[in-house]
Amino acid sequence: MAGRRGKFWLFVAILVVLHFTLHLTLGLGRSAPDLLTVAALLGARRVPGAGAALLGAVLGLLNDVLSLTSFGASAVALTVACYLGSRTRDLFEGDSLLFGALYLFLGKWLHDTLYFLLGLSRGGTDDAVNVLLTNAPIAAAYAAGAGLLALILFRSAGGER
């Protein structure tokens, strides 16, 4: 049992390292999926609410260290998304791929919505519609697809059923 947990948390750590490798080392920026949010959301399903909030805060602060204008916004958004993500264990049993895709999509969309609503964009109503109804769902679908692919690879490598 401890071996399975260790493999899963190693998988989460690999997603975090891969996120920063794609975004910083390779300089892909928004072209790369947000694997940090995927890692946080997947980890949030495995721990209680307080642990999930802590995981979101730590990973969000790790991401915010690189931001000059919005320090703390990602930490707050990931903390809320991870806490709510951990609460889904009480509502939904199992880890089907369909649920995983929907969970990652909604979690990433929530993260982007909260990030925007914290006042990081100075645009008007047109900007809000563009970000919340166009950019955020596309980014959420991209992250959910990448997260689902990573989860399938993890499961096929014997990480879990």
Q: Is the pLDDT of residue 121 over 70?
A: no
pTM of the model: 0.91
Residue 16 lies in a domain: yes
Residue 161 lies in a domain: no
Q: Which domain holds residue 59?
A: 2-156
Q: Output the average pLDDT for the chain.
A: 88
What b/e string do you get for 111-148 counting C-beta neighbours within 10 Å, with b at 16 or more?
bbbbbbeeeeeeeeeeeeeebbeeebeebbbbbbebbb
CA 112 to chain centre: 10
Mean pLDDT of 113-125: 73
- Band of pLDDT at residue 65, cut at 50, 70 and 90: confident
Q: How many domains does the chain have?
A: 1
- pLDDT of amino acid 2: 62
Residue 125 lies in a domain: yes
Q: Distance between CA atoms of 143 and 128, rounded to whole angstroms?
A: 21
Residue 143 lies in a domain: yes
